[in-house]
């Protein structure tokens, strides 16, 4: 079977990029029970430069930097690209419009999975850039799904967890308890059908066994969609 060569835009952060690559190849082996893995190219962005652009609101520079990474993947032979993080999907339309290869959308994949499960209202967790952006709400609205986010203090707490703990590999029970406390406060305020782990570090901390609400693991969902596309079972063509 011919497989499309995968280009992964990563480094945002390296912890989740490593996990994405691992889950992608494990998913292939679980399906095929052989080692004919799809070929993968990874371009790792400068995490601080990327985050600085987000923090400054420099969207032109942000799009340009992401575009540079995808262009490098294409030049190296990737036949399509995936961004192994949620926040760059804020500019998915702009980036995919100028890319020379297809770019799959993590947000679209997640919204589709939630719609298939019959979700109507979801709690979105991620960095503040993601929670305060409109891109998840806009995509999910097309599927009849409402997105809610934590209040400011809890947004600050999730943001701190991601940047100060999870991006450094600190996946502790104490950090999991902090994240679960945020979810409990949010669902007490507004009932939800599930939680979008809208930062690819969050699934490394919180798994379905830890909570009674359905979790939408953007890392797993996007890895599976990437594999499907690489194996010529495209979902966006």
Mean pLDDT (the chain) is 96
Q: pLDDT at residue 109 above 90?
A: yes
In residues, how long is the chain?
237
Q: pLDDT at residue 234 above 60?
A: no
Q: Which of 75-79, 156-160, 180-184, 230-234 has the lowest mean pLDDT?
A: 230-234
DSSP run (H or E) holding 195 = strand 194-197
Of 226, 217, 218, nearest to 85 by C-alpha is 218
pLDDT at residue number 4: 96
Distance of alpha carbon 196 from alpha carbon 202, whole angstroms:
10
CA 132 to chain centre: 16
Q: pLDDT at residue 237 above 50?
A: no
Q: How do residues 148-196 score in pLDDT, each as one tens digit?
A: 999 999 999 999 999 999 999 999 999 999 999 999 999 999 999 999 9
Overall pTM > 0.85: yes
Estimate the share of the chain in helix, then strand, then coil, as percent rounded to the nearest 5. 55, 15, 30
Span 215-237, average pLDDT: 86
pLDDT at residue number 233: 52
DSSP code at position 104:
E
Q: How do residues 111-142 score in pLDDT, each as one tens digit?
A: 999 999 999 999 999 999 999 999 999 999 99
Domains in the chain and their CATH numbers?
A: 6-105+220-230 (3.40.50.1860), 107-217 (3.40.50.1860)
């Amino acid at each position: 079977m011919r497989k499309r060569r995968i280009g992964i835009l990563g480094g945002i952060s390296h912890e989740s990029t490593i996990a994405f690559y691992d889950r992608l190849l494990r998913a292939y082996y679980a399906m095929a029970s052989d080692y004919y893995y799809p070929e993968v190219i990874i371009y790792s962005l400068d995490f601080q430069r990327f985050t600085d652009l987000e923090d400054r609101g420099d969207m032109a520079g942000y799009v340009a930097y992401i575009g540079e990474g995808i262009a490098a993947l294409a030049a190296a032979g990737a036949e399509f690209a995936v961004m192994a993080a949620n926040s760059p999907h804020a500019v998915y339309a702009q980036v995919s419009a100028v890319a020379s290869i297809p770019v799959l959308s993590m947000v679209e994949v997640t919204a589709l999975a939630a719609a298939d499960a019959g979700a109507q209202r979801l709690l979105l967790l991620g960095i503040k850039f993601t929670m305060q952006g409109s891109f998840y709400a806009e995509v999910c609205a097309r599927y009849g799904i409402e997105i809610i986010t934590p209040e400011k203090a809890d947004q600050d707490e999730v943001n701190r967890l991601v940047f100060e703990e999870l991006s450094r590999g600190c996946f502790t029970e104490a950090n999991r308890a902090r994240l679960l406390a945020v979810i409990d406060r949010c669902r007490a305020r507004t009932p939800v059908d599930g939680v979008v782990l809208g930062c690819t570090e969050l699934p490394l901390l919180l798994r379905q066994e830890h909570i009674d609400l359905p979790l939408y693991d953007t890392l797993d969902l996007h890895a599976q969609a990437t594999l499907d596309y690489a194996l010529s079972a495209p979902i966006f063509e």
